Structure 1
Amino acid sequence: MESASPSLRIRLTLGSALGLFMTGAIGASPGAAIPRWQDEFSIQSEIAWYFNLLFLGALLGIYLGSRLRRRHPWLPLALLTEGLALGLIALAPGAWGLYGAAFFLGLGVAVVNFHCNALPVELFPNRPMVVLGRVNAAFGLGAVLAPLLLLWLPWRLGYGLLALVALVTAFLLRQAPPPQNEKASSAGPRPRLLPYILLAVVAYVAVELVLSSYSSLYLLRLGYPDWLVGLLLSLFWVAFTLGRFGLAAFVARQPLERLFWLHLLALGAVFCYFIPPLAWLFPLLGFLVAPTFPTLYGFARVFVGYRAAAYLFYAGAVGGNLVPAAFATLPQEALAWGLLGVVSTMALSTHLLRRNGEAKSPVL
């Protein structure tokens, strides 16, 4: 899609970045909002309905988004759905309002996430990995800013502002071109690589969500003060954003080789959890694993094909919902072992891709 005018490419790239910003913001905002929801609506374990309905909406959104033959008007409509759901949350008179909005929020987010990852790859086919990695940095920025917004402002106002950002994004992504259903690389599709890619995505998303969801509990158990735990969680997302943006060009030169070594470094960094005085180093993990999804997505597009890339989002939904739910059953002292397991799985999957002779990819 290099034939697109420069102004159109800039607008659509900015829209894609804002779409991914919204994905990160929506994923991270409940961390700040849940205590307020619990106080205002007198709910505790019932909040699980929010996440269950969000998950169901996301599954439907992935299914529909991966089958769209054109992006206009469906991509802007998905963002309008996001905005409407966020507005409903801001105006919710009771917990049932949160639950009803969650399904439509998941639906909109999944469609937006799918196409805002695909569109930059098609706009810049000669350097997709670098562009995708840098556009994906907006995800981390949303994950950093949204919780802060909800802590600084009344939560209803914060969700109302996020709804307005969704509307602006819908405007930027108007007239988006249809998906480019390009075939896999000229060497032929390699569907046997897909299980390794999906396993790595499940493990990566699980690492991201477990770190951001359970690290605070683990550090508090180790005796770290509340203010320091909050600061370290913010630094995790800052490091994640810097890794997405700063490591994009580095990883693109030798995607699987360099990603594997980053995963090995992440595996070493996990051991900071086993040494309480060093547990404060865990934000480093965010920097090291940040390029994983853009790299695997770009690799899947090139070596497996556009359609198969949809499975990465299903894998992400599994890793982001089922694995953290399983971690909830672990005693807090076992978190480090569980995290060691999922990071090891991620590194092993990348190694299996890397050692496959036919999987040696060019610069992405």
Structure 2
Amino acid sequence: MPAYVWLACGLYLMNGMATVVFGAVMPIALHSLHRSYVFGSDLVFLQFVGYWIGVPLSAWIVRRLGYRTAIWVSSLSTGLAQAGLALWLRPGPYLACSLVSGAGMALMQATVSTSLIEWFPSRRAVIMSRTEAAFGLGCVLSPLGASVCIAHGAWRASFAFVAAAALALALVSAFTPMQATDHPGGPKDAHTDAIHLTGRRDGALVFALFMVCILVYVGVESCVNNFLPAVFVQHFGVSATAASVTVSTFWAAMVVGRMATGWIARVLPYRPYLLLASLGTLATLVAMVVTRSHAVGYVECFLLGIFMSGMYVVTLVFANHAFPTLTGLVTRWVTFFAGLGGATLPYAFGWVMAKTGSQAADVCLALFAALLFAVVAFTGVVTKRKSPSRPGVRAAG
């Protein structure tokens, strides 16, 4: 595997740690800040407002200064923001650091994902599944570390570990070769029929559907990342230490699923994969609404991670497959709408949880999953109609 892919995996691992670290300590952090879950929603919202800053910043820095500078700036800003969360336990600095951290994470994701999709055109899903698996591993390690820190009365140290990882990667990125190295003999993605767009309106419809898919998916994932421990505390009455493990359970399954995605992408086309994954997500979250046993809840967390594991990367790659000449633009818009979903749906979820309790919040999350399934299914119908199989070629998707 090229050195740059290894660096990309390290950066995604760090981003995974930064994405879930606040959710893992949210119950105890809000108690220490004397704030409600509405303030938690504000923090999540600002983190994803940072995405709207980081995405256009990526295009500007890459165009003028190159990929290396963009990656260095993203790692440095994320590291400094996480260090701020560890040092200052006050609402104002927390809001500011959440915004800066979100901008840094978006800058990294937009930069790295664009470069990988441009440099590895024949195996985008295979390569991206590796970075997404690394992201998932970071999401496993961060809550586990947070659980240990909480148990020792030093929960703010969770942010310090993320800061150290980000600053170390900023240093490593200065010495890593950055160039296209797509070897023709490597594993390839499964064939998916080309999508034939006949006009601007046609293209706008398909583009909009992909963006809505990303928005809703990332919104659901962000709700799980940031509020699942709080749901377990309120719904099952478990301790904050035990609740923080739910995110690790979810992301352990995400890692397993994303490692499998690289293989699945070689044999299963994008369209049926997304339909099956979204249906499984919906079924699991509906089951979670009626569950009363926390042991069963942990099993459902694992199943949820399995079903959701490959949806982001496959949607990203499918969108680029639909618009093969607009790789950089599509990838950055995907990252932008990921930020939009990560800001709006968790904000609504936190408000529902603060006002009505965990039961109504569980129903709200299941409704989000129903919306995700509906959008994915409609996108599948539209793209299938615009993908007539060529004579003699098996219909792949």
Instruction: Give the TM-score taking structure 1 as reference length.
Output: 0.84
* Residue in structure 2 matched with residue 21 of structure 1 by the alignment: 13
Aligned-pair CA distance for 1:65: 1.4
- What amino acid sits opposite 1:348 in the alignment? A
TM-aligned CA distance change 1:122 to 1:233, over 3 Å = same
Q: Does 1:30 pair with 2:22?
A: yes
Deviates more, 1:209-218 or 1:110-119: 209-218
Displacement of 1:137: 0.9
1:303 to 301, 322, 343: 322
Higher relative contact order (CA 8 A, sep 6+): 2
- Equivalent residue number for residue 60 of structure 1: 53
- Alignment partners' CA distance in 2, 1:244 and 1:358: 28
**Counterpart residue identity of residue 57, structure 2:** L
2:341 aligns with: 319
Query: Any residues of structure 2 matched to 1:147-296 within 5 Å, and which?
Result: 147-153=143-149, 154-174=154-174, 176-177=178-179, 190-223=203-236, 225-226=238-239, 229-253=243-267, 254-277=269-292, 278-283=296-301, 284-296=303-315
Q: How far off is 1:339 after superposition? A: 2.5
Secondary structure of 2:351's counterpart equals coil
Q: Which residue of 2 is the match for residue 131 of structure 1?
A: 127
Structure 1, 96-105 or 218-227: larger mean CA deviation:
218-227
Distance 1:203 1:289 in 2: 12
In the superposition, relative to structure 1, how do residues 89 and 250 fare at CA in structure 2: closer, same or farther (>3 Å)? same
Where structure 1 has 5 or more consecutive residues not aligned to the other structure, the ranges are 1-8, 179-184
Deviations 1:6-34 (A, max 9, x none): xxx62211111121112211111112444
Distance 2:39 2:297 in 1: 32
Deviation at 1:39, TM superposition (A): 5.8
Distance across 2 between alignment mates of 1:228 and 1:158: 16
Counterparts of 1:333 and 1:80, CA distance in 2? 40
Q: d(CA) in 2 for partners of 1:287 and 1:87?
A: 32
Residue aligning to 1:3? none
Against the structure 1 CA distance between its residues 136 and 351, is the aligned structure 2 distance closer, same or farther, given a 3 Å change threshold?
A: same
- TM-score between the two structures when normalised by the length of structure 2: 0.77
Shift of 1:122: 3.1
2:386 to 344, 351, 358: 358
Does the Cα contact within 8 Å between 1:129 and 1:249 map onto a contact in 2? Answer: no
What one-letter code is carried by the residue in structure 2 that aligns with 1:65? S
Q: 3-state DSSP class of the match of 1:247?
A: helix
Contact 1:11–1:173 under 8 Å retained in 2: no
Deviating more after overlay: 281-290 vs 333-342: 333-342
Task: Report if aligned partners of 1:57, 1:107 keep a CA contact under 8 Å in 2.
Answer: yes
How far the C-alpha of 1:75 sits from its partner, in A, is: 2.0
Alignment check: 8 A CA contact 1:82 1:109 kept: yes
**Do the aligned partners of residues 232 and 147 (structure 1) sit closer, same or farther apart at CA in structure 2, a change above 3 Å counting?**
closer
* In 2, Cα distance between equivalents of 1:176 and 1:152: 37
How many aligned residue pairs are there? Answer: 351
Shift in alpha-carbon separation, 1:139–1:188, aligned structure 2, 3 A: same
Aligned amino acid, residue 24 of structure 1: G
Identity %: 19
The equivalent residue for 2:374 is: 348
Choose the corresponding residue for 1:337, options 339, 363, 368: 363
Looking at structure 2, the residues matched to 213 and 161 of structure 1 have their Cα atoms a distance apart, in angstroms, of 18
1:294 CA drift (Å): 0.2
Cα distance change of structure 1 residues 360 and 341 upon mapping to structure 2, 3 Å threshold: farther
Deviation at 1:242, TM superposition (A): 1.1
